[in-house]
């Protein structure tokens, strides 16, 4: 179990003049950080909880961890005018880079934004859930279909110190299980600062246009273990596509050749991607 998050220290490190975040809200216990962040609604706000009791991932899957064993945070960022579908990928990239710089562990990405740790057999240490909102208080949607969102709520869950028995599935891991020193892995304030600093830098660089966008695309592709791998795509309607992942294109879609030529699949059209 880790120590409690220090809200005053986080605010000093993340808010002006040291960072762009405007509000840092820390809870001992909260149902859903995404729901609370959506209530706040203002870009550059972040909500953390030492224990999240009603967290959820993609497809409304429940996500819960024992108290003070993981990071549960949700950040509100302004939606870019171009490339809205890249925001979830940039969030995954920010986490992967932060884990490597802060803990020394190599972290890689499974499209679109699962963060895996090769030191523990490529098990998953982090998931990301993004919700797009067209206006303050509007209902969330899983993809930005039908128009431009004004803001994106980026939910991030990182397993820090769970034992194998505390994880929900065999394919999950924690920073400690993957080999990070316990003192480092459980330094929530330091880890969150690293993640949010990189997320802010990525969103800002993306908004600035090229060459920032191309640099971020290249960084994401360099971290990807999906490109070049055999994959199975689960699609709506109980359909499955098997093939080779050739690329992640400039729109953030995974390009798969199932034998009939390459096709691009946006994240919003894919239920699940499995490697191998």
- What are the tens digits of pLDDT across the range 141-175? 444 444 456 899 999 999 999 999 999 999 999 99
pLDDT band at 68 (very low <50, low <70, confident <90, very high): confident
- Please give the pLDDT value at position 66: 87
Give the tens place of pLDDT for each residue, 168-196. 999 999 999 999 999 999 999 999 999 99
For strand 23-27 and strand 45-49, is the pairing parallel, antiparallel, or unpaired?
parallel
DSSP 39: H
pLDDT of 58 above 70: no
Start-to-end CA distance of the chain, whole Å, equals 34
Reading the block at residue 154, the tokens are 């980026």
129-160 as b/e, with b when 16 or more CB fall inside 10 Å? bbbbbbeeeeebeebbeeeebebbbbbbbbbb
Catalogue all structural domains in the chain, each as residue range(s) with its CATH number: 7-223 (3.30.930.10), 230-275 (2.30.30.100)
Mean pLDDT of the chain: 91
Between helices 7-14 and 188-207, what is the axis angle to 10°?
30
pLDDT of 50 above 70: yes
Mean pLDDT of 81-93: 95
Mean pLDDT of 108-137: 91
Mean pLDDT of 118-135: 92
Give the tens place of pLDDT for each residue, 235-259. 999 999 999 999 999 999 999 999 9
- Please give the pLDDT value at position 153: 96
**CA distance linking residue 265 with residue 244, whole number of Å:** 13
């Amino acid at each position: 179990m880790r120590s409690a998050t220090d809200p005053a220290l986080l605010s000093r490190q993340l808010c002006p003049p040291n960072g762009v975040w405007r509000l840092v809200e820390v809870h001992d216990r909260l149902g859903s950080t995404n729901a609370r962040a959506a209530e706040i609604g203002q870009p550059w706000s972040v909500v953390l909880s030492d224990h999240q009791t009603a967290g959820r991932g993609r497809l409304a899957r429940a996500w819960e961890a024992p108290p003070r064993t993981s990071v549960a945070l949700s950040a509100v960022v302004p939606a870019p005018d171009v490339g809205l579908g890249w925001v979830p990928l940039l969030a995954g990239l920010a986490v992967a880079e932060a884990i490597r710089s802060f803990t020394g562990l190599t972290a890689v990405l499974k499209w679109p934004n699962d963060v895996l740790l090769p030191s523990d057999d490529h098990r998953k240490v982090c998931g990301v859930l993004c919700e797009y909102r067209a206006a303050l208080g509007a209902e969330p949607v899983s993809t930005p279909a039908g128009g431009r969102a004004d803001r994106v709520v980026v939910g991030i869950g990182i397993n820090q110190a769970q034992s194998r028995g505390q994880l929900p599935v065999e394919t999950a891991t924690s920073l400690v299980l993957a080999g990070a020193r316990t003192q480092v892995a459980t330094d929530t304030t330091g880890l969150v600062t690293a993640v949010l600093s990189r997320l802010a830098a990525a969103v800002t660089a993306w908004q600035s246009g090229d060459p920032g966008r191309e640099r971020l695309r290249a960084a994401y592709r360099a971290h990807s273990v999906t490109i070049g791998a055999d994959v199975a795509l689960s699609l709506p309607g109980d359909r499955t596509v098997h093939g080779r992942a050739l690329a992640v294109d400039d729109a953030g879609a995974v390009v798969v050749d199932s034998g009939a030529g390459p096709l691009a699949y946006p994240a919003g059209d894919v239920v699940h991607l499995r490697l191998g």
